[in-house]
Amino acid sequence: MPRKTFFNLPIDKKQRIIDAVYDLFIENDYKDVNIRKITRKAGISIGSFYQYFYDKDDLYLYLIAEIEKKVYDEYKKKAGKFLTDEIVIPVEEICTPKEIEFANTWDNAPTEVKVKFYFGEYAKEMNRIVWDELVELKESGRLVEGVDLEFVFHLYVTCMFNILMYFKEKNITDEKERFYFKRKFYMEWFVNRLIKK
């Protein structure tokens, strides 16, 4: 998570850094992007970078999380739910072309970066909409009896990570096929097993 100093920057300077980082990761492999390249492209000093972020992974994960939150927020706004609604919103209606291009770099990010995302500080914040919906389902009495929400949430996050690893291992890159896999898992194997009939 970025340091407070980053959030205190003027909006235009923050955006300049974000745009520079988007460009670098879109144009280069993850391993080829380094702090020096980021600072040069963003027009900031290396010392300033470390005042804003802990490291390259921190910056990258923050930007990926912001795009994911934008998508989740749009689902929440339009559908009111994420887990239990079958609405499909094309990502092009939510994100800018550059955000989409940057988000597509996620497939080639190192596994250890993905582990930080799914099992580190971003996991609970990133999937807050899922957690909130699980709590709401439990409080409304719609979940099957005896469900431990923290365990279910852990399963959800673990499965998200493993689906991503499966896509990489099987070289599944087609977005429609990926969406089908995810939707089938969420609705048929995950949600439908949790909700009372």
The model's pLDDT over 27-78, given as tens digits with 9 standing for 90+, comes to: 999 999 999 999 999 999 999 999 999 999 999 999 999 998 898 888 778 7
CB 41 within 8 A of CB 18: no
Specify the residue for token string 């998570």.
1
Decide which of 22 and 1 is more confident: 22
pLDDT value at residue 61: 96
Backbone CA torsion sign across 177, 108, 22, 76 = positive
The CA distance from 137 to 133, in Å, is: 6
The DSSP symbol for 188 reads I
Question: What's the chain's average pLDDT?
Answer: 89
Q: Is 89 a residue whose pLDDT tops 90?
A: no
User: pLDDT class for 120, splitting at 50, 70, 90?
Assistant: confident
pLDDT digits (tens, 9 = 90+) for 176-195: 888 788 777 777 777 778 88
User: What dihedral do alpha carbons 21, 23, 92, 86 form, nearest 10°?
Assistant: -40
User: pLDDT class for 84, splitting at 50, 70, 90?
Assistant: low
Cβ neighbours around 105 below 10 Å, total: 20
User: pLDDT class for 14, splitting at 50, 70, 90?
Assistant: very high
